[in-house]
Structure 1
């Protein structure tokens, strides 16, 4: 998302940077500034192979 000079995805609520968070069943995008959480499908049109690689490195949160 914010690698290789590309712009990060922006939070619709506050324009803060979104970062991926994986749980056992889903990947969400969470805002660094306001903490808002969004399903990845909301931003599907903006995601690319680099995003998939970044998400693959996000630790899985096993409850």
Structure 2
């Protein structure tokens, strides 16, 4: 596992509020989804079932519970 992975990645997952593609981002304590257009933030758990390739690749470098 790498602790030097990217802090965020662009996904193709649409924002539930405005439809723009979400960004997955990590902080020291959590991973969340953020919309760069409307600025809303969403918990990762709401999108795990719809993870795209960018999310899967990003999460390979993040220690988190995906259940």
Range class of TM-score, shorter chain:
0.5 to 0.7
After superposition, the Cα gap between the structure-2 partners of 1:38 and 1:52, relative to the gap in structure 1 and judged at 3 Å, is same
Dislocated runs of 4+, deviation >3 Å:
none
* Distance in 2 between residues matched to 1:20 and 1:9, nearest whole Å: 9
- What TM-score, normalized to structure 2? 0.63
Segments of 5+ residues of structure 1 without an aligned counterpart are 3-7, 58-63
Relative to total residues, which structure has the larger helix share, 1 or 2?
1
Higher RCO structure, 1 or 2 (CA under 8 Å, sep 6+): 2
Aligned residues: 52
Mind listing any 5+ residue stretches in structure 2 that lack a counterpart? 1-9, 63-67
Taking structure 1 as the reference length, what is the TM-score of the superposition?
0.67
Question: How far, CA to CA, are the matches of 2:18 and 2:50 in structure 1?
Answer: 18
Matching of residue 21 in structure 1 with residue 25 in structure 2: yes
**Residue pair 2:13, 2:52 contacting (<8 A) in 1 also:** no
More strand per residue: 2
Which residue pairs with 2:38 in the alignment?
Answer: 34
